[in-house]
Structure 1
């Protein structure tokens, strides 16, 4: 019998029991489902994929205290995906060991019934999913990259994909050498990516490209799409991540009216990111679409670049047939407190994506070497960029002039505001300390230590570029410098 001074409270008792039971719950190990460690064979890889699949679904069907799956530390698990994780709710997947994608024959990689390749890990139509741990996922992308270069065929898996997922957390892991994108969040609402390390073996990629003549004068063409963190959705934060790769490092992809959860990629904060090499903190590409591809209200803040190929990269894509191709929106993009050490190509590029990838049709017509003579980079007005702000951006030791900002006179870009943008160029080639500009209305530049301004080309026609290069200001810059 309880005294009046120590009265029994049923509600408090229940809460205490729940707290204790949760604290002492045991994660579901993939070993319990037959996983085989330290065996790279096809059979072991298949078993391990099946073990993870069944463990996650068991956690999804468990009581409140048993909703965590663990890939235990001290083991390497060769892995083939067994399926897509669908309808998962309130589950934690903790990778403390190593998941290593099957590195054998590509033709043994599983495909869906429609012929598409299974991604390494994919969550669809799920809620409250956390992917965390102190371990790593190894993509073993080399043989996939070789396959694309040799055949021109591209059916590579991505590493981590989410489709129509809410309240997703991805954190702490190390992601190595994905066959294609490392992280691709599609149609996500309320997501956080944090304390992630993405690393591509750049030496191996460079050797591969050079062996097929895809380097010219030491400048890579980057056909292998090893993006770091790509996101399309709403209310998303990416923070405290490190990315070394050969393509977009952190990239905002568009959403449109055909998506399930959102119609526009918007309200994102990407901050405190370190990027080595890579092709920038990117927006797009944004091709036109009848469903209106949209990116809006994006803040990149406190980004540190080390030898980036490009740093700030906004890429609206052209539309050969506006009535058929539709439109797009790129609005309210802000870059703030950015530092770039030794940009290897353009510090700022706002124009058609520079891409030509043999074999997969990804050719925008915009040469990597534009605006040199005899190169092209078409623009159309289907996807104007509006309200672009860059504040406190410093770049040291840039190879080229500060940047290219090109839109189209049929639907100009507008409301660009650059404040304290200071770009030191080692060569001044090809526009001195100026931008090449076209079709931008209401462009304000304030507070720069260099006399940054625009050299304008006369129209969007490709053959006018040599005229721009003959601008007196540019000619003086060219004549005063020696170039390799």
Structure 2
């Protein structure tokens, strides 16, 4: 058995190692775009909320590309449009009082058969969407199809794949039929000052489904000064992601700041700081399973305030469990967790290690639990530090299958009492 001294040294080393990795964070390189203006009205765009302006706006984009790049300007007014293809060295500048609006579902090219994304680009560089204006997805007629049987496809609002130097700044994104921002396999991504709003997935009048605000996977990512409230993940990333800073963002409805469920290829070196969460289903959410997992490591969450959240901290590796007793995360007990079967470790096993939770205050919605960290029997979560964490909730914080866990100056207040955790197969470092 390891001595307490060795456990403490190991935890201290991981804290120093994680802090050093995060201090090495370098902000993404911003795109460089020529200051040439291509106003869409010069290409025949009409602001009447009736005309299909897809061709006019695409012609403006193509003209900018032929000129070596520039700013395609959406001036004041409301412009209906269908799918657009981005080019290199391009800034789609949406001016204040300008609305770029999806064609309605009955006029959108491909409709539910294709679900073609609205703004797309692959293997591009130096691209931006900026301005004080709005992109409106008119998503309400699309959302019910998420719950209907059939081969239905809904468009994403912004979809960039394997691009370098991306900036999305100051715009407002509303009511996408599906994801609002979907960026995968990309380098140097900055999302700053962006507002993303759609109804909650439990909205009694018009629930939105899968309307993720900001799905960004890749390397060198900055998400800052954003105001987010949607019907699914407020931020999420998957495997192949590293060096991410999420700072000074305000989260409302949605599933919180998430990782997964696919983490194969690894997720590392993420810092979430100076953010608020109000009425979110989760604050911090990390999920995966044995068919899609990888290493998730070196995560720092600090200076966070959560109000009336469903669960402040959630981390588990049984996302696809079919048995009801393993899916009810609010009520899973140590006794139930102990019955979860072990499996052989493979390259798809979720491995979670090196987490710092620091200066976090949370109040939890009635009937909900203070948190849950649930490792797999064959792969416990390792190296977790809670420092200055204050949570008030009805149900206890559960920690199942974890090693090298330490609480410093924390007040976890639940019906079980102060700092009374529900644990099993957990190695605490006191």
Q: 1:29 aligns with which of 25, 36, 39?
A: 39
Residue aligning to 1:61: 66
For the aligned residue pairs, the C-alpha RMSD in angstroms reads 3.0
Residue aligning to 2:75: 72
Residue aligning to 1:243: 228
State the Cα distance separating 1:311 from its structure 2 match. 0.7
CA contact (8 A) 2:317 2:350 kept: no
Residue aligning to 2:257: 281
1:105 and 2:65 matched:
no
1:161 and 2:159 matched:
yes
Residue aligning to 1:448: 410
- Higher relative contact order by CA 8 Å / sep ≥ 6: 1 or 2? 2
1:310 and 2:282 matched:
yes
State the Cα distance separating 1:446 from its structure 2 match. 0.9
Distance in 1, matches of 2:379 and 2:202, equals 43
State the Cα distance separating 1:149 from its structure 2 match. 2.5
Distance in 2, matches of 1:58 and 1:302, equals 42
**Structure 1 SS opposite 2:148:** helix
Q: Flag the structure with larger Rg.
A: 1
CA contact (8 A) 1:437 1:455 kept: yes
State the Cα distance separating 1:204 from its structure 2 match. 8.7
1:401 and 2:369 matched:
yes
1:94 and 2:79 matched:
no
**Structure 1 SS opposite 2:58:** helix
Residue aligning to 1:424: 392
Residue aligning to 2:185: 187
CA contact (8 A) 1:354 1:368 kept: no
Distance in 2, matches of 1:145 and 1:438, equals 36
CA contact (8 A) 1:285 1:353 kept: no
How many residues are aligned here? Answer: 378
State the Cα distance separating 1:116 from its structure 2 match. 4.7
**Compared CA separation, residues 397 and 370, structure 1 to 2 (3 A):** closer
Distance in 2, matches of 1:293 and 1:424, equals 36
Residue aligning to 1:470: none
State the Cα distance separating 1:457 from its structure 2 match. 4.2
Q: 1:269 aligns with which of 245, 248, 257?
A: 245
Superimposed CA distance per residue, residues 214-240 of structure 1 (whole angstroms, 9 cap, x where no aligned partner): xxxxxxxx8x11111111010110100
Q: 1:438 aligns with which of 397, 400, 403?
A: 400
Distance in 2, matches of 1:392 and 1:241, equals 21
**Structure 1 SS opposite 2:56:** helix
Q: 1:131 aligns with which of 129, 132, 135?
A: 129
State the Cα distance separating 1:317 from its structure 2 match. 2.3
CA contact (8 A) 1:147 1:153 kept: no
Superimposed CA distance per residue, residues 274-303 of structure 1 (whole angstroms, 9 cap, x where no aligned partner): 01122111112235xxxx431100000111
Residue aligning to 2:21: none
Superimposed CA distance per residue, residues 17-76 of structure 1 (whole angstroms, 9 cap, x where no aligned partner): xxxxx99x6511112222232233xxx33xx1222222112111205xx61111111x11
Distance in 2, matches of 1:26 and 1:236, equals 27
Distance in 2, matches of 1:372 and 1:251, equals 25
Distance in 1, matches of 2:378 and 2:332, equals 24
Distance in 2, matches of 1:456 and 1:178, equals 41
Return the TM-score normalized by structure 1.
0.72
CA contact (8 A) 2:289 2:320 kept: no
Q: 1:350 aligns with which of 292, 315, 318?
A: 315
Distance in 2, matches of 1:35 and 1:404, equals 52
Indicate the larger mover: 245-254 or 224-233.
Answer: 245-254
Give matches, 1:367-406, under 5 Å.
367=327, 370-371=330-331, 382-399=349-366, 400-406=368-374
Residue aligning to 1:293: 265
Gaps of 5+ in 1: 1-21, 210-221, 256-264, 320-324, 357-362, 460-484
**Compared CA separation, residues 238 and 170, structure 1 to 2 (3 A):** same
**Compared CA separation, residues 301 and 447, structure 1 to 2 (3 A):** same
User: Which structure has greater helix proportion?
Assistant: 1
State the Cα distance separating 1:189 from its structure 2 match. 0.6
Distance in 2, matches of 1:386 and 1:103, equals 46
State the Cα distance separating 1:111 from its structure 2 match. 7.4
Q: 1:81 aligns with which of 74, 80, 83?
A: 83
CA contact (8 A) 1:353 1:364 kept: no
